[in-house]
Amino acid sequence: SRPTVGAEGRLEPDFAAFNLSENKEAATVVFDKLQDHMPFVLLGKHAAYRVTLTREDFMAWDVAAGTNTITEQANKGLAAFRKDMPDVFYRVYPVPEDKRGDDVWFKTLTYISHPYDPLLTVAANHNDLFQPVRVPNPKLPGSAKEHLLIGMKNEGDCQVPDAEAAHAEICRVVKDSSKRMASIEMEAMKQAMKKKKSGHP
């Protein structure tokens, strides 16, 4: 998201941002109706592009989970992006033209994601890793109710002073979650086998 500060100090959506331009009506409703009741924490592309998730990161998560599901899901998601919006896809992922075949494009990627949502989650739980721009909320006075903007402009470190630490935190959380999910799935399989052996449905 990329907002501007408009009349009366209210945040307004900037439709030059790709995600907001995809559904202008919904973006307008969110900005118009919600900010009077809660502060916004918004993270833009310049912050997301400070952190890069690589193929090696995804492989490490698969190892932790004992599967290749995480990388497969990334492949499927990017394949849909590539099919639906090829021009945009190849701007984001500059794959050489001779490597764009269905069987090679994914293997050619040097990175898989610049993580908007995961990085925003890290910002919500580890604000010490960020230096957001604070915008007063005219309807909710007090510093605890300020809007926090991260990476709206390509200036300096884009409010992400330690990108390596933010990257490490994302990797840690996903790896731990992968291990927990693998443990839950393994336990479910054990219980299913016990029921099968005992003759219970």
State how far the Cα of 71 lies from the Cα of 109, in Å rounded to an integer: 12
pLDDT of residue 190: 76
pLDDT tens column, 88-115: 999 999 999 999 999 999 999 989 999 9
Provide mean pLDDT across the span 172-188: 83
3-state SS assignment for residue 27: helix
pLDDT of residue 123: 93
Closest CA to 51 of 124, 141, 123, 102: 123
pLDDT band at 191 (very low <50, low <70, confident <90, very high): confident
Encoded tokens for 98: 């001779």
pTM, 2 dp: 0.82
* Res 18 pLDDT > 90: no
For the chain, what's the residue count? 201
* Res 186 pLDDT > 90: no
Helix spans in 37-162 (H): 45-48, 55-65, 69-84, 86-92, 105-108, 116-125
**Bridge pairing between strands 11-13 and 41-43:** unpaired
Buried b (16+ CB within 10 A) or exposed e, 56-79: ebbebbbebbeeeebbeebbeebe
pLDDT band at 117 (very low <50, low <70, confident <90, very high): very high
pLDDT of residue 200: 59
Provide mean pLDDT across the span 80-84: 96
Closest CA to 148 of 166, 165, 161, 130: 130
What are 53's strand-pairing partners? 113
pLDDT band at 7 (very low <50, low <70, confident <90, very high): confident
Encoded tokens for 22: 């995809």
pLDDT tens column, 34-43: 999 999 999 9
